[in-house]
Structure formats: structure tokens, C-alpha cells
Copies of this chain bind each other. A is one copy, B any other.
Amino acid sequence: MKKWVYFFGAGKAEGDGEWRDLLGGKGAGLAEMTKIGLPVPAGFTISTEACDYFYKHGKRYPPELKKQVLDNVKKLEKATGKKLGDPKSPLLVSVRSGSARSMPGMMETILNLGLNDKSVDGLAKATNNERFAYDAYRRFVQMYSTVVMGMSKEDLEHRLRDMKKRLGVKNDTEVPASGWKELVAEYKQYFQEKSGSAFPDDPMEQLWGAIGAVFGSWMAEKAVTYRRVEKITGLLGTAVNVVQMVFGNTGDNSGTGVCFTRDPSSGEKIFYGDYLPNAQGEDVVAGIRTPVHLTELKKLMPKAYAQLEKVRVKLEGHYKDMQDMEFTIEEGKLYMLQTRTGKRTPAAAFKIAMDMANEKLITKEDAVMRIKPEDIERLFYPVIDSKLDKKALEARILARGIDAVPGAAVGKVCFSAAEAEEWAKRGDKVILVRRETSPEDVGGMAVAQGILTATGGKTSHAAVVARGWGKCCIVGAETLDIDYKTKQMTESKSGKVVKEGEWLTLDGSEGVVYAGQLALVTPQLPKAYETVMSWADGIRSLRVRTNADTPQDARKAIEFGAEGIGLCRTEHMFFTDFEQPEKSHERQRAIQEMIVAEDREARVRALDKLLPFQRRDFIGIFKAMDGFPVTIRLIDPPLHEFVPHEHAKQAELARELGIPVETVARRVEQLHEANPMLGHRGCRLSITYPEILEMQVRAIIEAAIECQKAKVKVLPEIMIPLTLDKKELGILEQATRRVADDLIQKAGVKLPYLVGTMIELPRAALLANEIAEVAEFFSFGTNDLTQTTMGLSRDDAGRFLPDYVDEKKAGVFAGDPFQTLDTKGVGMLIRWGIENGRKTRPKLKVGICGEHGGDADSVKFCHQAGMDYVSASPFRVPISRLAAAQAAVEARQRAAKAKGKRR
């Protein structure tokens, strides 16, 4: 006969703590706690399989269930020495749902089941508290009527209010026993009117009603929606836990509390929790009375406290993780009602993981697995002071956008990058606000405290650049109507106007824009961070590099643990001189002169001006990366990004270059493209203008030679972007080697360097076997590869991608494919590319340099796909290091599992 019901009590349990799928989280926890000898009220759990059967058979129970429940009720009566409905000292039970995954507040609970007109008197006598007994009774009738029978809560509450009015009292606590008695009668009459039959007196009838209600709540609309939104799938249903009631509200010798085995805020190994004397769990939740600290319990009831302290040690030792527990003390006796893994702050997560590993409670691998990658990010950035009043904060909200880079920032609104630079020079804190940003704005972005744009998504220019710097950034705040002329913006829903110079606070972690100047705090980096991360580094096999374009970024990334540069975008150097900002203009003019030039000679002249700048930047980067490889990508963006589009700026450029403004305007017009993402960019520029490649390779190799002479270990990797064909790549590879080998030979040095390519077009991935004949390494540019594989422009997808990700709308994707790699589609191309590339060149070095290199799930995919390294923006390097270690552990676990070993 199939077993549907599992008993626990008196130190024994038919269930097991591992059987979450069968017993639900609560049932498994109760069974486990019982087994390890903790004081748990006895009870039994109807399995999730019964719920599954129920729904698969037209809401009928399994035939064997009735007898099994009856048997278990008898067992429970025996264990507790009480009987359901006993007019002397009745057994009362709670009936609660509990599925394998926590679904807080989504399903039903019925307390005090077993009360009727007779047993209530027994309860009154047994507790010597008539008021308590009738209060419990009216609560049960109310719960049963609403939860099981679906009657109106409002109708019942209404009667309670009327009664209190009649009695002239305000609070429930003032209602005497007679009042509750009266209310029970009224409730029962209401029940009779509504249902046409009397309120069930028989406790077994009550129990079956409650079981049915719990099963029914599994398919209630709110529960179904919750599971869909939270992406909870694969569950059989809910279990039903029938447990002896214990009462914390029988007098001062009773009480209830919640505690953590360690401090969930700091992670310190101290006993932490709240206790409310003479109260039930519901009262703690309702927040009517203020609980006292756990240390008070020690004073009030030293024996019970000592018992709880033992439970703490036992549970943590058993579960090997910080536990969040609920308990009740009834007449001095401790009962454990629930235990689960406790939530904690990011800092606490590190501290607890480190301490537990040091205590040998867990392994270092376990410690690494305990950290969530997003915890790391939250360690670094300043945040809005959490002490600020929440309602006041709410009122300050100006607009919402996309949380592009976390952290918070405060500054004065400035709508122009150039002015932002001026303001910053004179010491002002600036928030740069733009419709969208372009490489021209990089200088202003660099000096701003935070960046806010009205358009774009998480991989728009603003987001990508800001992320590289770990600078707070909100993009796609589409309700902001920005007017550059009048220098103000209007929030289109509220009509609120913010003018240039006014204060603004950005919460980049939440994507919220606040008007005014809010207080910020920067969290302290916990010491445990360094320890756990060093363990992670010892575990991972995937290397972690960084995307860095300047010596400053490179140094920053080294601090964050980067092991080289996976993507150095040379074009940012065309616009900004981070070491000598006064030279930025000179750089810009040189690249612009190159673009408007009419022939190769004139282009070469202009490029010669850029050469020393690029060389200087490369020297700085090589020095910062001494001993680590540096992958430098040759020019990538379309040229129109480098030229001014406004007439005034074009005129200025023309004046400085001594050419007619029409020439500049015509050239800019010529550069306009319908789809610049698919246009004249990447290595296509070097095919058309080989002189650009020649200058860049010269700058790289000259810098490398100079560094080498200064005893810096240089490992340059020259990367050709947007390749789509072996022949195309071959032409550029040859051109690269011609310049490089010539310089190396003339310098009389030995300088190993690699020439490789980005794989960012489907065709390149498809033909990886051919491309690997030329390329010494592949770097998957997954931003563009995602754009082309999915036909999604990351700059435009903000308009409809939210619908695609929103489970309630289309729900096509689990997440934004520009944040977390589409492992199914794009991932298929990546796996194909790696596999076929290595067929041609077994030692092909493979990495990733898209935004996904800093996303934990994507990093794990990269490990699985067999990459050698990932590259992330400096602030995300620690995330990638951790994720890489977790991927390695998971792979080992999978391998062990596959071998049939137990963990």
C-alpha cells in the first residue's frame, strides 16, 4: 500500500530532512528536527504526492488516504496524550501547507483545529484561562469559515468591530471571555446562513475540511501566478502538515520568538534573535508589541534559554549553515516550530562562510559556493543611507529607469558633457544627464558622479562605459523628456521639471532617480572577502581578465584580481587623455582630421599625430599589466561616432583644420548609416583604410618594445574585430605581422605576440574551423554576437524586450539576453565555434569579452564550454572570479554524481 502520510514525534520521524520534494520544506524540517532529538511538537505530514494525486484525479483523494490520516491522528493522540475534541484536555492541531520551495503567504494555514463547543471548555479548564480558550475558538471559527469555506473576511471582521463597539472597548486584548463567546455564536450563525448547514463540530470533519483547503490553495490564482513569476516549476504540489498546537500566549511563563544561529547582519558568531513573552507567532508578525532581545530571555527563563542555545549549536552543526528558527515556549517548555537557512547581508555571507570553513564545519569549496555573485557587487558601491525615512524617500522619486550600474551618486544636473568637465574642474559634483551618450561624451562621463540617460538598455554606450568604471548609471529612464536647449528635463507622467544645476540622487542598484541631495554611505569591505576570494582563486581553472582601456582602469582591475586584459578598446583613447586631460582635444582633432581627409596621404599625416598618444597609453597599460597578457582590439566603431553632428561643432572643426565647413558636413553626412551596428565598422575599416591598422599596430609594438627594454614583461595580443571570413582576417593578419615583424626586427629584440580575432558574427562562429587557420586566439564578443544571432539591437531593445522577459506578458526569455548569455541560441554558436576552432588549432586560446564576462551565470557557461578565460569590467572581476570557482566546483560535483558517488 502506498504511503501518503509520514509521522514525526517523540524523537522519531518517518520522514527525512532530505525529503523536501516529498514532505515540503516545513515537513522535512520538522521531521529532521525531531530525528536529531530537538523538542518539536508531534504531528504528521501528508505528502506532496497526495496533492499531485488529488489534482490528477479530479480533486479526489487517494483511496488509502482516509485510513492513513485516521491512523496518524490516533498516533498523534497517543504521542501527546490528548484526544481531538476531548471535552477535558483536547488535542488541538495546526494545519499548514508547505511545498518544496518557499512561497511565503501564498498558501493557507488553519490554527486551533479541534475546538468545538465542548472541547473549548476542556481547553479553558486545562489552561485555566477561559478568555484564552474562547479567543482561540473564535479565531478558529473565523479562519475555518474564510479559508475552508471561502466566506467573506470582511463580514466576519465587521461583526467583531460591532461587538467591540457594543462593549465599548478598542483593542482585542480588552475583550472578555463573554465577548468572544458571543462572537463565536454570531460567527456560527453567519456560517449557517451562508452555507445552509451548521458549523462542523466533529474535529475529523474539521480536519478534512482543512486538508482540502490547503490542497485547494495550491492552485489558487495567486499561488499559480507566484510560481510563474518566480519561475518555480517541477513541483508535485503542497504537503499538509498537521501538528499539535502549542501556545506561547498562556501567560508569562510562555512566549514565542525568532532567532538566528549567527548575526545575519554582521555574520558574527553570536546568538541573535527576538522574543515576545506571552504571545503567539502571529503577534510577532503583526508587530503590535515590540519584542525584546534574546538576552532578555536568558534572564527571564534561563533554563529554556539554555535549551535553545543547545538547539542552536545542534541545528547549525547539523545543517552546516546559519539557521533562522521559530520557537514557542509553552508554560516553560521549549518547542521548535521551524528551521531554515537564514538570509544574510553580503558582508555576513562572507564572514559566515569564512568562519564556518575555519571551524571545519564546511569545506573551503562549500564556503565559496555559499556566496552569491550579486553579494559581491553590493559590497563595493556606495548606497543611499538606509536610515532615511522610507515614505519621504518614496515622495522624492522623480523617475525610474534601468539599473545599469549599481551604487548611488549625488550631484548637480548637467546636460552637456563639455560643461560637466568644466563644472568638475571648478569642484562641482555632477550628474551627467543625456538622452543617450556617445564616445564624444566620455570626458564628461569620466568626471561625473553618476550618469543618467533617457534611452538605451544595459548594454548601451552609457551603461557599458560606466560599468567599466564602476560608476553609478541609470539608463532608459524613458519618461524623462530632456530639452538640451532650455537645459531642463520634464518627467512626462508627473510633469515635474528639473533644471540644470539642481541636485539629483541616483540609485543605480534599483534604477531609481530621486530629486534632491540624499545622504550616501559606503559599506566597509569585510576582511572575510579577501579570504574567501583567495579560496575561490585556488579552485577555479578559468582565468579572469578585465576590459580596460586606460592605465588607470588597468591598475584598478589588478586590485580587483584581474589576470590580464581581455579587451582594450583602443578607440576610447581617440577621445580622452586620462593622464593629461588637456591633451584630449588634440587627440580628438587628430582622429577627426583623419576621417575628413581626402586621401591616404592626408590620413597617414593625421594618424601620425595620434601615434604618440596611443603608444603612451599602451606603455601605461603594459606596465600596469606587467607579466599578464593584454588583448588590444583594433579600431571598431563606425567613424561617424568620432565626428561632430551639430553644425556649430562642425564649423569649429572646419576652422581648426582650415577646410570648408561643407566638406566636414558632407563627410559626416556620408558617414550616416541606416544600421550602423551592421555597417562600416570593425575590421571593415581596416580593409578600407589599412593605414589605421598600421598606425595602431605600430603604437602597440613600439610600446611593447619600449616596455620590454624597461624590464616589463609584455604579452601583447592583437585582436581584429568583426571578422566574418578567413580571407578577410588573413589580409589583416598579414598586414599586422608586416608592421610588427619589421619593427621587432629593426629593434633587434625578441617579442612574442599573438594575432587573433573577435568572434562576434554568426558567420565567424559557423566557419570557426577556417578562421582558426589564421587566428591564434578567439575572443567571443557576445554583445554583438547576441545582437546578430537574435536580430536584437541592444540600443533599441528597451522598447519591447521587457515584454519578452516579463513572465506575465510574453515571457519568451528567462532574462535579458544582453545581461545573461542566451546559452541556447548564442551558446550553441559559441560551443560550435570553440569545438570547430580547436579542431583546426588544438591549442587555440579562447575567451569572452562581452558584457557577459562579468555575469555569473554566463561565466559558468564559459567554463562549461571550455574557454580559457573570461574578461569583465574591473568592478565585475571579483564576480567572475567567484563564478569561475563555483563553476569548477559544480563541474566536479556533476562528475562525482555521474560516477554515482554520494556527495
Contacts and interface: CB of A to CB of B under 8 A. Distances in A.
Interface string A781-818: 00010011111110111011001100001111100000
A523 interface: no
A201 interface: no
A725 B812 contact: yes
Contacts of A800: 680, 684, 687-688
Contact of A789 (B728, B763, B828): B763
A648 interface: no
Nearest to A478: B670
A238 B793 CA distance: 53
Contacts of A678: 675, 677-678, 787-788, 791-793, 796
Interface stretch (A74-82, A103-111, A564-572, A819-827): A819-827
A761 interface: yes
A788 B765 CA distance: 13
Contact of A788 (B725, B789, B810, B822): B789
A727 interface: yes
A791 B822 contact: no
Nearest to A638: B796
A110 to B, nearest CB: 39
B810 A728 contact: yes
Q: How many copies of the polypeptide does the oligomer hold?
A: 2
A679 B724 contact: no
Contact of A763 (B766, B799, B811, B822): B822
A167 B828 CA distance: 84
Contacts of A809: 687
Contact of A728 (B679, B731, B812, B824): B812
Interface string A743-781: 000000000000000001111001100000000000000
Contacts of A799: 673, 679-680, 688
Interface string A633-676: 00000000000000000000000000000000000000001111
A824 B767 contact: yes
A878 B796 CA distance: 40
Contacts of A728: 804, 810, 812
B724 A791 contact: yes
Contacts of A674: 676-677, 793, 795-796
Given A677-B678, A678-B675, A763 B784 contact: no
A829 interface: yes
A722 interface: yes
A675 B790 contact: no
- Which of A678, A680, A722, A761 has the most B CB atoms < 10 Å from its CB? A678
A797 B810 CA distance: 34
Contacts of A760: 791
Contacts of A731: 810, 812
Nearest to A675: B793
A824 B763 CA distance: 9
A687 B766 contact: no
A679 B792 CA distance: 6
Given A680-B800, A803-B688, A784 B793 contact: no
A795 B761 contact: no
B796 A766 contact: no
A267 to B, nearest CB: 41
A180 B795 CA distance: 79
A312 to B, nearest CB: 47
Contact of A767 (B766, B803, B825): B825
Contacts of A790: 724, 761-763
B763 A812 contact: no
Contacts of A762: 762, 788-791, 825, 829
A766 B828 contact: yes
17 contacts: A673-B795, A675-B676, A675-B678, A675-B793, A675-B795, A678-B791, A678-B796, A679-B799, A680-B799, A688-B800, A724-B790, A725-B825, A761-B790, A762-B789, A766-B829, A767-B828, A784-B791
Interface of A: 673-680, 682, 684, 687-688, 722, 724-725, 727-728, 731, 760-763, 766-767, 784, 787-793, 795-797, 799-800, 803-804, 809-813, 822, 824-826, 828-829
The 3 closest A-B pairs by CB, nearest first: A678-B793, A763-B825, A675-B793
Given A675-B787, A762-B791, 15 more contacts: A675-B675, A678-B787, A678-B792, A680-B796, A682-B791, A687-B803, A727-B810, A728-B804, A728-B810, A761-B790, A762-B762, A762-B829, A763-B790, A763-B791, A766-B825
